[in-house]
Each structure stands twice: as C-alpha cells, then as structure tokens.
C-alpha cells in the first residue's frame, strides 16, 4: 500500500505536514491478473498537487487470489485507511473511494455486497444473511460501512460479466478462465446481477450506499460504455431518488485514456472530475485548489507522437 502526500504549503522546501486533508483511496485495474498499485501514480501526482492525500493499495491478482479474496483485500485496505490515515495527515471522515477497470469492479462489488448484508441485518432477516457465508459478518464487528465513505467514483469498470464476455474472450480471457478468476461465483460478484437480485428481493439500499459517480469512455473496447449506461439505470432503481447515482461519458476516450494517455498528454479531465467530486462530497472547497497553472497539470510527460504510438499499441 502506497500513501502519497505533499506539504500543506505545496513547497517541498517547507516541511509543513498536511492536517485533516481529504483522502482518496484509488484501486487500479489490470483484468484481475496484472494489476499493480504504481498504475495510479499519475492520478496521485495530480491530486496531491491539489492538496489531497492519496492511498493506493494492491490487491491479490489471480491465480494468487480469486475475486472473493480481492473483495476482502479492498475491505481491509479501506478499514486500514480509516484507522491509520490521520497519522499521515488525512481526515478519516473525508474518505472517497475510486477505482478503474477491475479495481472499479471490485470496489463496486464490495459496496453492494456490504450494503446488502447491512440491509438484511437491519431488517432482521437473519435467514438471508446466513444463506451466504461470504456475508456472515456481524454488524457489531468493527468494520467500515459503505455509507462511511463520502462517495465512490468508478471508471471504465466491467459491470456485467455476461455482456463483456465477448470482449474478454478477444483478450484471451475465455469463459472458463473468468469463472476460475471469480472462484466459480461469477454472478455473486457481478454488480449488474447484484442490482437485479436487489430488485427481485425488493431491496432498497439508499440508506447504506454512498453517492456514486460512474465515468466511462465512449471508445472503450474492453468494457463497452453501454454496459455502464444500463448498470447506472439498474443501480438507480435500488438506490432511490434521494441517493446520487450518475453517469458521465468521455467522448472518444478509450479504456485507459482517462488515467494514462490523457494525463501523459496533460489532459486531466478525469482527475479534475475526481477533484470536484471530492471537494463537493467532503465540503472541502475552501481547503482545496485545483493546480491549473502548475506544471504537473500543464506539461506533457513525453512527446505527443510517443503517446499516440502508445495508444495505438495499447491492448485494452
């Protein structure tokens, strides 16, 4: 787990630590196979310049862990942050979650499953709670709650595994491999199917979910944006009108443009959208400032022709 910070003055020669800074926990993608925490370094570079503290955990990749284990890793990372982030200058009452691709999928799954568990316990429906061993966590245990975080931003995530199977297969992830990656519990860890299950069971999760903003590129060939559109509709049905669930599309952007090719070329649209959400959700508008004139934001990291070549060769 990496913790990225900066000084409150924004100057490296003035070692004034951050105090009570908003916190973003960012979970990277990697098709549940090749994810690595350093993939979030460009995001951390931008957000720390804006005065935020960024936590980027690793989670187990397959075959060292299946998706159920990855959900556990996400939960432990969030709980660690709540317990320890104040020692790094972060405010545990101003924590926002974000995830890209597989990272967004796993966080979304963790939020929905925990919300379902809490909703069942709140309704004294012990039969349903005990029917799924993965949800057998006492509400009396010291554990984070989905509505303890101020919000969740999901980027380029696969929400419907059945719909995206064709895309997965084109990348060498056939149905049998996906089933193994998911510990043969595919539908139990599929956000779209969890949303449909909640509808069948007449569950309303507005009390237990944080605000959620979904972002997706319209040229995403790995996780088609149409699935994000449909998932947002289904999620709104169980979240209720009082809970913010929104979708924003980046016209022309691919699966990785918002976090890789874009920032490399000084296009920080997603980072700015994340900044705006954090400032709003944590009531930190006066505490934070987008560094619009900082070279971190205004400078490309390499010649544009190399970025174009990288985008052309990108397999996702």
Pick the catalytic residue: 5, 77, 101, 156?
Answer: 101
220 is annotated as an active-site residue = yes
Closest to 98 (Cα-Cα) out of 273, 296, 233, 314: 273
Residue 1 CA to residue 130 CA, distance in Å, equals: 32
Residue 125 CA to residue 146 CA, distance in Å, equals: 19
Pick the catalytic residue: 105, 193, 216, 255?
Answer: 255
Query: Which run of H or of E encompasses 246?
Result: strand 245-250
Pick the catalytic residue: 91, 154, 216, 220?
Answer: 220
Integer CA distances (angstroms), 193 to 29, 163, 207, in order: 21, 11, 20
Q: Which residues of 68-96 are buried (b: 16+ CB within 10 A; e: fewer)?
A: bebbbbbbebbeebbeebeebbbbeebbb
105 is annotated as an active-site residue = no
Q: Which residues are catalytic?
A: 101, 220, 255
């Amino acid at each position: 787990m990496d913790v990225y910070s900066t000084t409150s003055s924004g100057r490296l020669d003035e070692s004034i630590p951050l105090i009570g800074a908003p916190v973003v926990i960012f979970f990277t993608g990697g098709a549940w196979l090749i994810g690595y925490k350093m993939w979030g370094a460009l995001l951390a570079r931008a957000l720390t310049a804006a005065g935020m503290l960024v936590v980027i955990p690793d989670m187990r990749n397959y075959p060292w862990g299946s998706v159920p284990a990855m959900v556990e890793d996400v939960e432990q990372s969030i709980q660690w942050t709540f317990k320890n982030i104040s020692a790094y200058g972060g405010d545990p009452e101003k924590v926002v979650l974000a995830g890209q691709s597989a990272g967004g999928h796993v966080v979304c799954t963790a939020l929905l499953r925990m919300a379902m568990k809490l909703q069942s316990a709140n309704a004294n429906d012990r039969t349903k709670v005990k029917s799924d061993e993965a949800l057998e966590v006492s509400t009396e245990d010291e554990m984070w709650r989905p509505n303890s975080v101020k919000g969740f931003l999901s980027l380029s995530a696969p929400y419907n595994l059945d719909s995206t199977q064709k895309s997965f297969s084109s990348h060498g992830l056939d149905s049998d491999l996906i089933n193994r990656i998911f510990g043969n519990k595919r539908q139990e860890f599929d956000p779209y199917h969890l949303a449909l299950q909640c509808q069948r069971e007449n569950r309303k999760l507005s009390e237990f979910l944080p605000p959620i903003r979904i972002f997706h590129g319209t040229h995403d060939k790995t996780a088609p944006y149409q699935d994000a559109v449909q998932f947002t509709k289904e999620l709104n049905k169980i979240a209720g009108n009082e809970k913010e669930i929104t979708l924003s599309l980046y016209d022309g952007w691919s699966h990785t443009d918002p976090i890789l090719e874009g920032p490399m070329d000084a296009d920080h649209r997603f980072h700015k959208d994340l900044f705006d959400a954090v400032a709003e959700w944590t009531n930190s508008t006066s505490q934070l400032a987008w560094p619009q004139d900082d070279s971190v934001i205004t400078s490309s990291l390499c010649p544009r022709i190399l970025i174009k070549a990288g985008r052309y060769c990108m397999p996702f």
